[in-house]
Amino acid sequence: MPPCIDDVMKLCCKLSANQQIKTAVKQSGKGAAAAGGLAFAGGLIGGPLGIAVGGAVGGLLGCWMTSGQFKPLPQVIMELTPDQQRRLYEDVMGIIGSITWTDVAQLTALVMGNATLQQQVTATLLSYIQREFQAEVHYVD
Cross-strand partners of 137: 23
Residues 105 and 122 in one domain: yes
Residues 42 and 16 in one domain: no
The pLDDT > 70 percentage for the chain reads 79
User: Who wins on pLDDT, 105 or 30?
Assistant: 105
Give the whole-angstrom CA distance, residue 53 versus residue 44.
12
Please indicate, yes or no, if residue 56 is contained in any of the structural domains.
Answer: yes
Indicate the helix (H) or strand (E) that contains 22: strand 21-24
Residues 5 and 49 in one domain: no
Residue 118 — pLDDT band, cuts 50, 70, 90? Answer: very high
Instruction: Indicate the number of domains in the chain.
Output: 2
Evaluate the CA torsion angle 57, 59, 62, 67 in order and state its sign.
negative
Q: What per-residue confidence (pLDDT) applies to 43?
A: 79
Domain that holds residue 78: 1-23+71-134
> What average pLDDT does the chain have?
81
> Is residue 95 over pLDDT 90?
yes
Q: What per-residue confidence (pLDDT) applies to 1?
A: 44
User: Who wins on pLDDT, 121 or 70?
Assistant: 121
Residue 136 — pLDDT band, cuts 50, 70, 90? Answer: confident
> Is residue 25 over pLDDT 90?
no
Q: What per-residue confidence (pLDDT) applies to 26?
A: 52
Residues 38 and 100 in one domain: no
Task: Give the strands of the sheet with 71-72, arranged side by side.
Answer: 71-72, 21-24, 136-139
